[in-house]
Structure 1
């Protein structure tokens, strides 16, 4: 089931996200996120009128989440969003990322957004494939803009017109 995130999801979402902080270069954050911080992030996204979705199994266990955030703070960027999806390490390969992203993109279209942008720490063939299946196309790449887990990391940007 895919539904809107609530503050009650914060602990589960932090648990999912903290794996990516600790063990991957997918995010450039380096310190674990607390439940309170995750609840604050959910509230910030929701107060901006943007969606934050969760996927859960039949037992109500949260398996992943996707959300949109403002691309930049300047007014002229108000129709552009950055999109993000994270899955529990045990939930890959089930199509949940695609389901979350499809619902997120549909909601963004309905809300009148014009473009969705995905930033991908490289290499990440699975994320690239997901974005491109959903119509995103690569529009740029910054070289060695992040340093994590002892190495320099490039970031590519994909976008889709909504």
Structure 2
């Protein structure tokens, strides 16, 4: 999928060769942001197991790659909840390398994620975003997500109470 900007971005299914870069991107988010509410960094085996769990029917794991072959980010969707009644609803995650956050990578990943979810017959995609993450909120809104609720003070990181904004898009 080409980016409308100066560089080219392709989005494809994640593969094992992506795991070192995906691990680095995830760990940077753990250490420097409130985008993920974990305190501990992980190793490549952890991200491999996690992403392999997102490569079974009903889930998707995508990687964005630059023209030079460098992994720029990744996105997944999986079960929103494990109960049968939620089988047509998925929740997304999207992470972009620090130096690629304003280059259209998130848009490219999320656009393809939405295409895959629609192709798979999913009905709703949900995003749970830290309420101060204005870039992620704006990305989701630009792609048609609507805010459906805010959960104040449900998380803690870096000694702060965090709110979660819930957004969703109907896919069909």
TM-score (norm. length: structure 2): 0.92
Q: Unaligned stretches of 5+ in structure 2?
A: 1-9
CA distance in 2, matches of 1:115, 1:24: 27
> What is the number of equivalent residue pairs in this alignment?
162
Question: Any conservation in 2 of the 1:6–1:42 contact (CA below 8 Å)?
Answer: no
> What is the CA RMSD across the aligned residues, in angstroms?
0.9
Moved more, 78-87 or 42-51: 42-51
Question: Any conservation in 1 of the 2:58–2:78 contact (CA below 8 Å)?
Answer: no
Q: Does 1:123 align with 2:132?
A: yes
Match of 1:5 in 2: 14
Q: What is the 5 A alignment of 1:28-107?
A: 28-107=37-116
Q: Does 1:151 align with 2:151?
A: no
CA distance in 2, matches of 1:122, 1:159: 14
Superposition misfits of 4+ residues, deviation over 2 angstroms: none
3-state SS of paired residue (1:46): coil
CA distance in 2, matches of 1:54, 1:97: 10
1:48 Cα deviation (Å)? 3.8
> In the TM superposition, what whole-angstrom CA distance separates every residue of 1:4-48 from its partner, at most 9, and x where no partner exists?
001221111010011110111111011102100100011111124
Q: Unaligned stretches of 5+ in structure 1?
A: none
Match of 2:169 in 1: 160
> In the TM superposition, what whole-angstrom CA distance separates every residue of 1:110-140 from its partner, at most 9, and x where no partner exists?
0000000001112111111100000000001
